[in-house]
Amino acid sequence: MSTLELKKELHKYIDQGDKRLVKFIYDKIKDYHLQLKEDKMIAEGEEDIKAGRLHTQQEIKDFIDNWKA
């Protein structure tokens, strides 16, 4: 099934669905998008580690202390 066909089919389900179904679909889509953002953040973090862009625990504590000042 093509993407366009899937979208049309989803629209049918949503248009005919009761409140529970619509909420379920909404929650799943929202969770999916959140997972995409988290996956991107993890990949960026792994790239930082590989590139050596790191801070020691003491450096982080010093950053925080400087923010408080």
Task: Give pLDDT tens digits for 20-67.
Answer: 999 999 999 999 999 999 999 999 999 999 999 999 999 999 999 999
Angle of CA points 12, 14, 19, to nearest 5°: 145
What pLDDT is stored for residue 13 in this prediction? 96
Instruction: Copy the structure tokens of residue 63.
Output: 């950053």
What pLDDT is stored for residue 32 in this prediction? 98
Angle of CA points 60, 63, 66, to nearest 5°: 150
Task: Give pLDDT tens digits for 3-15.
Answer: 999 999 999 999 9
Instruction: Copy the structure tokens of residue 32.
Output: 């999916």
Q: Which residues contact 22 (CB under 8 A, 6 or more apart)?
A: 14
What pLDDT is stored for residue 68 in this prediction? 83
No. of helices (H) and no. of strands (E), the chain: 3, 0
